[in-house]
Amino acid sequence: MKVLCGIGGSDDSFRALDRTVERAAVANDDLTVAVVENPDSSVDPDEIARKAESAVEEAGIDAEVRQVEGDPGSRLVEIAETEGFEEIVLGGGHTSPMGKITIGSIAEFVLLNAKTSVTLVR
Amino acid sequence: MSDRRYPDAVADEFPVPPTEFTDREERTVEIRPYEGTDEEYESLVEMYDAFDPADRAQGIPPGGEKRIREWLDAILADDCLNVIAWCGDDVAGHATLVPDGDAYELAIFVHQEYQRAGIGTHLIRGLLGHGQSESIRKVWLTVERWNRAAVSLYKKIGFETSDAESFELEMGLRLNPDADEEGDADEEGDADESEGDGGTA
């Protein structure tokens, strides 16, 4: 399957990355990792991209890691549409001190606007 | 996550528990701070084990006794504030404040058998009274925007919406003045009453 995994540097996005890379190795997915500019994350995009590259390398798969500028949600949806992706994978949300799960603004936009299936990784 | 907004005005004074009242079903209900005994803990586990999954909000309370215990261990820690609504030996509801930087995150749960009887209002006011007496300054919460009973309860209490941009509304309340200001709380009389008293929030 042609899978687009969007990560912006939050903890849950790195969990999504690990799980997607793992699955791609087993299922032979055609994976692209898109590093987006998450305004809520303080991690430098270059560093996120390096993390993604090393996760891909470790899993021994052939996946493209690309940095995407602009509004994260709409860019992910646009890329999925124009390049024929079948699934978008994102982090499954932030957990508050109380244990409440909050879905980030990127996931919310993608969920409502994507034409592909969307997976949120818990 | 530390750029949350809070009302400028300090909230009303809330009653400090223990307090007792009769609910709309003529049941005697007592609001008491959690003291950390095994009996209280096990009664809470029992309440959450029987909690209607339809009343879960944003993943809490979790399902299954093991996860309930893990979750309770986190929110009943020494640096948290907890208040329980008792109907005899049964827990009718539970409200909690969990530290988050310079503020506290609030959640409240009323067991389905005890909903719509005014217990939620007493419970949250008791928790906030407990918080005020422990010098807590700021409280925030998130609530699913379709949970209108909960949203109206929080508004009635004095919470103001601080972020309405996502699935969940974020609301804030100032319980005590900041350290550097001397209290000049202006507020209006408190409206009590209503049905804003759903299962969770």
Q: B73 with A65: CB under 8 angstroms? A: no
Closest Cα in chain A to B95: A98
Establish whether this prediction's ipTM goes over 0.90.
no
Q: Which CATH class is domain B19-174?
A: alpha beta
Cα(B111)–Cα(B87) distance, rounded to whole angstroms?
Answer: 11
User: Above 60 in pLDDT, residue B164?
Assistant: yes
Length of chain B: 201
Cα(B119)–Cα(B19) distance, rounded to whole angstroms?
Answer: 12
Q: Which CATH class is domain A12-97+108-121?
A: alpha beta
pTM: 0.84
Per DSSP, B4 falls in state -
Spell out the domain ranges in chain A: 12-97+108-121
Residue type at A11 in one-letter notation:
D
Q: What is the mean pLDDT of residues B170-187?
A: 72
Averaged pLDDT score across all residues of chain A? 95
Q: CB-CB: which of B57, B98, B168 is closest to A97?
A: B98
Q: B57 in contact with A at a CB cutoff of 8 Å?
A: yes
pLDDT attached to residue B61: 97
Averaged pLDDT score across all residues of chain B? 89
Per DSSP, B21 falls in state E
pLDDT attached to residue B201: 53
Of A47-56, A71-80, B173-182, B188-197, where does mean pLDDT reach its minimum?
B188-197
Report the share of chain B in percent with pLDDT over 70: 88
Q: What is the mean pLDDT of residues A40-61?
A: 94
pLDDT category, B200, cuts 50, 70, 90? low
pLDDT category, B128, cuts 50, 70, 90? very high
User: Above 90 in pLDDT, residue B188?
Assistant: no
User: Above 90 in pLDDT, residue B199?
Assistant: no
Among A85-89, B1-5, B166-170, B193-197, the range with the most confident prediction by mean pLDDT is: A85-89
pLDDT attached to residue B165: 78
Other CB atoms within a 10 A radius of the CB of residue A4 amount to: 26
Best residue in A95, A96, A102, A120 for a mutation probing chain B (most B CBs within 10 Å): A96
A98–B105 C-beta distance less than 8 A: yes
pLDDT attached to residue A96: 94
Q: A42 in contact with B at a CB cutoff of 8 Å?
A: no
Q: What is the mean pLDDT of residues B141-168?
A: 90
Which among A44, A51, A47 has a CA at the least distance from the CA of A18?
A: A51
Closest Cα in chain A to B68: A99
Q: Which residues of A touch B106 (CB under 8 A)?
A: 98
Q: A97 in contact with B at a CB cutoff of 8 Å?
A: yes
